Amino acid sequence: MRIVSVVGTRPQLIKAAALMPALRARHDEVFVDTGQHYDEAMAGAFFAELSLPRPDHSLGVGGGGHAEQTARMLLALEPILVGERPDAVLVYGDTNSTLVGALAASKLGIAVAHVEAGLRSFDRRMPEEINRVVADHLSRWLFAPTPAAVANLTAEGITSGVLEVGDLMQDLASRVGGQARDPAALAAVASGLGLPLTPGGYAFATVHRAENREPAAMRAWAFILGDAAAVRPVVLALHPGTRAALETAGLTLDPAVSVIAPQGYRTTLTLQLHAAAVLTDSGGVQREAAWLRTPCLILRDRTEWVEAVAESGGQMVVVGLDRGRASAELARLAPTADAPRLAAERASGFDLAPAGAGTAIAAALEGAA
């Protein structure tokens, strides 16, 4: 099949890197980057690090509000699809790029394949929830990562074209994660960042969701990170949009919170694996923390990755922006005296099997050709 793959964000680049070898072994792929994560720090460095080829088409559509960004992407993508004449358009996840790929293809009568179909937070206030629901209802192939995702689709009356394939990000984490096990990997990262990081001696955090860029929400999670930093240093990989929102609101973070730019894939895995705990609102980071077995506080009221929480043995907890609960759970999951030992044991014992999602997706598309 001739397939146009549409990406636009860092998590989508990670998924594309996991799928591309299997996809290109069986199909003719055209790679399109919308530019949704539009600077070198957010996305550009991932191409080299993950051995991704440069896109066949770069739309350069970054920034702006949801409506503006979506409209500009649609205008830029449609003529590419007309010119490339693909048999299918493949989209990943739940971003505006996902929505645009599904809409543009459907309007042109091109079949849609959705990777990570069926995920639901059941919170329509989240832009991501709208994007994933629309993409699912427009898709011919729905590649679900979990049984719960399949059940969600069934509840919405979607059963045709649904296939549970496992998680693409697990495939890549399995391939790359072994490089992060050695404490020397953390030492190299610490040296590059200019931070005195030791196994279990810090917490790692990311915050980027739209709901967590509202002033009240930013004050709340800033207090949570400040409380965590009173126990051990916190390293916050700060999304440019979140940084801008903090500046606009005139908010500052505790001095013990070390703010760094978003990091490459291997560096981020290394920082998570050796941390005492992870605090995040990111779906991707949640899953990585689960595979790495690093304690994780989810800074959202709910998550679409329900199995990751349920199967974590209490190591992954949805705390929202509840300051008291976050402090209590962090003390339980990463006690100061034990955190270095626990982090060292976790890293030395890391052994993650691949999910085989890439092979399953490529084979399913081949069977439909």
Q: What is the pLDDT of residue 83?
A: 98
Statement to judge: residues 208 and 280 lie in one domain = yes
Statement to judge: residues 244 and 361 lie in one domain = no
CA atoms lying within 13 Å on the CB side of residue 302: 11
Q: Which two tokens stand for residue 231?
A: 């126990």
Statement to judge: residues 6 and 144 lie in one domain = yes
Q: What sign has the CA pseudo-torsion 119, 120, 126, 127?
A: positive
CA 50 to chain centre: 15
Give me the amino acid identity at 255. P
Q: How far apart are CA 8 and CA 231, in angstroms?
A: 37
Q: What sign has the CA pseudo-torsion 45, 51, 57, 61?
A: negative
Statement to judge: residues 152 and 35 lie in one domain = yes
Statement to judge: residues 122 and 243 lie in one domain = no
For residue 222, give the CATH number of its domain: 3.40.50.2000
Q: What is the pLDDT of residue 175?
A: 87
Statement to judge: residues 214 and 321 lie in one domain = yes
Is residue 1 within 8 A of residue 27, CB to CB? The reply is yes
Statement to judge: residues 161 and 213 lie in one domain = no
Using DSSP, state whether 91 is helix, strand or coil: strand
Statement to judge: residues 12 and 105 lie in one domain = yes
Statement to judge: residues 165 and 188 lie in one domain = no
Statement to judge: residues 216 and 313 lie in one domain = yes
DSSP string, 268-306: HHHHHHTSSEEEE--HHHHHHHHHHT--EEE-SS--S-H
Statement to judge: residues 323 and 249 lie in one domain = yes
Q: How far apart are CA 106 and CA 101, in angstroms?
A: 8
The catalytic residues are 208
Q: How far apart are CA 81 and CA 198, in angstroms?
A: 49
Angle between helix 339-348 and helix 265-273 axes, rounded to 10 deg: 130
* Per-residue pLDDT tens digits of the chain, which is 369 residues long: 999 999 998 889 889 999 999 999 999 999 999 988 655 555 556 677 888 898 999 998 877 888 999 999 999 999 999 999 999 999 999 999 999 999 999 999 999 999 999 999 999 988 999 999 999 999 999 999 999 999 999 999 999 999 999 999 999 999 888 889 999 999 999 999 999 999 999 999 999 998 999 999 999 999 999 999 999 999 999 998 899 999 999 999 999 999 999 998 999 999 999 999 999 999 999 999 999 999 999 999 999 999 999 999 999 999 999 999 999 999 999 999 999 999 999 999 999 999 999 999 999 998 665
Distances (CA, A) of 225 to 44, 133, 190, 333: 28, 32, 20, 15
Q: How far apart are CA 74 and CA 129, in angstroms?
A: 19
Please name which of 308, 81, 170, 123 lies closest in space to residue 132, comparing C-alpha atoms: 123
Q: How far apart are CA 194 and CA 159, in angstroms?
A: 51
Statement to judge: residues 164 and 302 lie in one domain = no
Q: What is the pLDDT of residue 38?
A: 58
Q: What is the pLDDT of residue 197?
A: 97
Query: The domain containing residue 54 runs over which residues?
Result: 2-173+354-367
If one counts the domains in the chain, the total is 2
Q: What is the pLDDT of residue 39?
A: 58
